[in-house]
Amino acid sequence: MDVSQYLEIFLDETKEHLQSLNTQILELEQNPENMETINEVFRAAHSLKGMAGTMGYKRMQTLTHDMENVFSEVRNGHIKVNASMIDCLFQCLDALEDYLATIQSTGDEGTNDNEMLIKDLNAMLGAENADESETKPQQAKAAVSDASKEKWHTIPMGEPEKHVVREALKQGKNVIGLTVYVQESCILKAARAFLVFKALEELGEVIVSNPSTQDIEDEKFGFDFSIILVSDSDAEKAVAAASNVSEIQEVCAGLILLDTEEVAGGAAKEETAPEEASANEVPEAPQVEKKPVKKETKATEKKNKPVVNRTVRVDIEKLDVLMNLVSELIIAKNSLVSATNVEGATNAGVNEHIEYLESVTTNLHESVMKVRMVPIESVVNKFPRMIRDLQKKLGKKMELHMSGEETELDRTVVDEIGDPLMHLLRNSADHGLESAELRKERGKNEVGYIFLNAYQEGNNVVIEVGDDGNGIDVDAVRKKAIERGTITEEQAEYMTEKEIIDLLFLPSFSTAKQVSDVSGRGVGLDVVRSKIQSLSGEVEVRSKLGVGSTWIIRLPLTLAIIQALMVGVGGEKYAISLAAIDTIEDISPEDIKLVQSKEVITLRGNVIPLVRLNEVLGIESLKDSSENLTAVIVKKGDKQAGLVIDELSGQAEIVIKSLGKYINKSKVISGATILGDGEVALILDTNALL
């Protein structure tokens, strides 16, 4: 057992608590009198403090402790929530996030004490400081020495343990019984218990505990546990060592003398009166720096930089489904084995089992995929706070409306999507929204409207980010592009509005007249786009001058396994993602028209360009030019194209494999897959063909 095994849980939970604090404090800013929110904030701060203390992060603990004091005063009605307090609290949250980031990368909290913040917090408490002890009832607990508290008397001991005790006594060692009470507010009880064990093991040997060490490790105990320790030191030292661990409420101890009689009877003579530990240091104490918990910090420091693995917390139900499916898979496999073993096995019988197997594997795949899915909530939750800060910084009034936070995406995608979204939101706040005066002039609500909507659409997740601001000034972009030599004037004349707007995604292209530290350095949109493209997604923008703009991000639900249409081109096999396909059309050569010397067809009133795949792929088509063509109509946003192929060879579920680092120049190929017969087929990147 080791504290570092809790590090992941600690990081995850701390992040959650910080997020909840952020949300709640935002809420508090709106409704300063809401008791429920204040209580919620208090609880979150308290848990944070407890966890930081458990892990031995002193600085983090001190800061949260002072924050908790402020909340506690607010809760008791001694001080009122005001704007400067909210600002200060947000700064504290930022500081905590810094600690967390440092811990994540180095395993240590760093050396920043954030004294200024602590000073501010204490200043807020002001005169109320005197009453502080009143809010800490646990601390003032009277020292009760009660025999019933010394549960170590009742530790069941087997013959081997008794033997050890006898031997120890013979050697003149002390056998000490201890009962440790953990504070009821303690979060990671097991970690506490572990620290107590560790502390005691430095003094001697723990021979038995109740409940068993295994149960304690698994947190299967109430708020106390008892230990029998064989040691050279006396009971006082053991008590001191155990009490040194924070969040330990009380430690009772006594010597066991075991005169060959049963220990469990409690008949053991006690030379030392049970040690009271009420004076020990609990984190609630106003001066936390009283007595540093040396052992804990040492334990964490000793760990050579824990590398925190990325984890997904999985709903147990999802795992249950997965388990069931695996069992079914095994059954299916067994029946398949027996079906082939039976003399004169009929094909029909085998086919039946294969179909069963297929349905199981499909479900299995879906569930595994779901296990990897997490709601985007974890990413978008930090945005309200960001908008609040931007509002102050930019001096514009704005509101963020979000919907669809529960939309789920693959964990890897969720991790990456935060920055691009943040950038788009900042863009909206900074460039999109006009100043309040201008808004008034235009007859708009003074408060700017920024939105983030997420929803699932077929095999994609769509995230829309936008505002009701100024929209993109196409003429300004065109002028700028010509000025910069990105395009020539002739080119500009022929370009559609959409094409002009697309220029914004080029590297170092910013139309902002002023560079602010919010956005406008021109290193944004191209990064946004390349990030999203690296996640196999796409981004487009719809904008109307004076009305606002919307950025639409489309991301695939999963990256690893897709449904695909297998097609043949010039004798080679290619896969096209089913998600990109609209329809498949049979086209007679007469229907092909030429527009600007490019082949197009008209389909249900739409003019669709044709792409001869054999030309793109550099191979001879097997079809005669007089024959009817088969075209797969693919879409990307509202663009369409018809990919001309030789033959269709059915639908398949394919596993996407990378082509490796060596082949990366091939634009039209997004990956490869291995077919049932071991052959390799390439996956066409339809986005690149449009």
Applying CB under 8 A, among 344, 395, 618, 676 the residue interacting with other proteins is: 618
Q: Does 35 bind other proteins (CB under 8 A)?
A: no
8 A C-beta contact, residue 552 and residue 539: yes
CB-based burial label for 594 (10 Å; 0-12, 13-18, 19+): exposed
401 is catalytic: no
Residue closest to 577 by CA, chosen among 558, 601, 605, 551: 558
Cβ(558)–Cβ(369) below 8 Å:
yes
Q: Which helix (H) or strand (E) holds 169?
A: helix 159-170
The reply on whether position 172 binds other proteins by CB under 8 A is no
Give me the torsion for CA of 404, 410, 412, 418, rounded to 10°: -10
Region near other proteins per CB under 8 A, out of 180-188, 428-436, 440-448, 678-686: 678-686
CB-wise, 123 or 674, nearer to other proteins?
674
Q: Is 682 in the site for other proteins (CB under 8 A)?
A: yes
Site for other proteins in 375-414 (CB under 8 A): none
Q: Which is nearer to other proteins, 547 or 674 (CB)?
A: 674
Distance of closest approach, residue 617 Cβ to other proteins, in angstroms: 4
The verdict on 666 binding other proteins (CB under 8 A) reads: yes
| Binding window for other proteins (CB under 8 A); candidates: 150-158, 310-318, 504-512, 611-619 | 611-619
CB of 615 to other proteins, least distance (A): 10
112 is catalytic: no
Measured from the CB atom, the residue of 634 and 681 that comes closer to other proteins is 681
Amino acid identity, position 485? G
Residue closer to other proteins by CB (options 512, 669) is 669
Q: Are 380 and 451 in contact (CB under 8 A)?
A: no
Backbone angles phi, psi at 143, to 5 degrees: -80, 105
Q: Transcribe 623-690 into DSSP letters.
A: S-TTSPEEEEEEEETTEEEEEEESEEEEEEEEE-B---SS----TTEEEEEE-TTS-EEEEE-HHHH-
* Distance of closest approach, residue 369 Cβ to other proteins, in angstroms: 20
| Binding test (CB under 8 A) with other proteins, winner from 268, 678, 685, 690 | 678
Local structure of 614: helix, strand or coil? helix
Query: Per residue, what are the HEC states of 202-267?
Result: CCEEEEEEECCHHHHHCCCCCCEEEEEEEECCCHHHHHHHHHCCCCEEEEEEEECCCCCCCCCCCC
Nearer to other proteins, 487 or 616 (CB): 616
Establish if 101 lies at the interface with other proteins (CB under 8 A): no
Pick the piece of the chain touching other proteins (CB under 8 A) from 309-317, 332-340, 389-397, 612-620.
612-620
- The stretch among 160-168, 204-212, 504-512, 661-669 that binds other proteins (CB under 8 A) is 661-669
Report d(CA 651, CA 665) in Å as an integer.
28
Under rule CB under 8 A, residue 662 binds other proteins? yes
Q: How far is CA 190 from the centre of its chain?
A: 25
Burial-class residue 310 by CB neighbours within 10 Å (0-12, 13-18, 19+): exposed
Catalytic residue among 17, 29, 40, 46: 46
Q: Is residue 427 among the annotated active site residues?
A: yes
- Closest Cα partner for 79 from 36, 121, 30, 124? 124
By CB under 8 A, name the one of 260, 344, 661, 676 that touches other proteins: 661
Does position 619 bind other proteins by CB under 8 A?
yes
Residue 559 touches other proteins, criterion: CB under 8 A? no
**C-alpha dihedral sign at 236, 242, 247, 250:** negative
- Report the nearest approach of other proteins to the CB of residue 656 (Å): 10
Q: Which of 357, 579, 616, 652 is close enough to bind other proteins by CB under 8 A? A: 616
In total, the chain counts a number of residues equal to 690
Taking CB under 8 A as the rule, does residue 337 contact other proteins? no
Of 669, 685, 689, 690, which lies in the binding site for other proteins, with binding defined by CB under 8 A?
669
Q: Which is nearer to other proteins, 445 or 658 (CB)?
A: 658
- Among the listed residues 427, 470, 614, 687, the single catalytic one is 427
681 binds other proteins, rule: CB under 8 A: yes
Contact call for residue 653 and other proteins (CB under 8 A)? no
Which region among 50-58, 197-205, 465-473, 655-663 touches other proteins (by CB under 8 A)?
A: 655-663
User: Near other proteins by CB under 8 A, which window of 229-237, 428-436, 490-498, 663-671?
Assistant: 663-671
Cα–Cα distances in angstroms (integers) from residue 527 to residues 206, 305, 689, in the given order: 58, 31, 22
Of residues 569 through 598, those in contact with other proteins by CB under 8 A are: 572
Please pick, among 68, 73, 281, 416, the residue that the annotation labels catalytic: 68
The single residue among 617, 623, 636, 649 that binds other proteins, judged by CB under 8 A, is: 617
The residue whose two tokens read 């996030």 is 97
State which of residues 294, 593, 598, 657 lies at the interface with other proteins (CB under 8 A). 657
Q: How far is CA 120 from CA 16, 64, 84, 90, 132, in A?
A: 25, 13, 10, 12, 17
Going along 256-389, which residue ranges are E strands? 373-375
- Does 676 engage in binding with other proteins (CB under 8 A)? no
Tell me, by CB under 8 A, how many residues bind other proteins.
24
Q: Are 26 and 399 in contact (CB under 8 A)?
A: no
| Choices 125-133, 375-383, 444-452, 668-676; region in contact with other proteins by CB under 8 A | 668-676
Residue 539 CA, chain-centre distance (Å), reads 23
Tokens for 157? 């001991």
Distance in angstroms (rounded) separating the CA atoms of residues 388 and 399: 8
Residue 679 binds to other proteins (criterion: CB under 8 A): yes
| Residue 672 engages other proteins in binding (rule: CB under 8 A) | yes
Torsion angles phi and psi, residue 556, rounded to 5 = -75, 145
Residues involved in catalysis: 46, 68, 427
Which residues contribute to the site for other proteins (CB under 8 A)?
Answer: 572, 616-619, 657-663, 665-669, 672, 674, 678-682
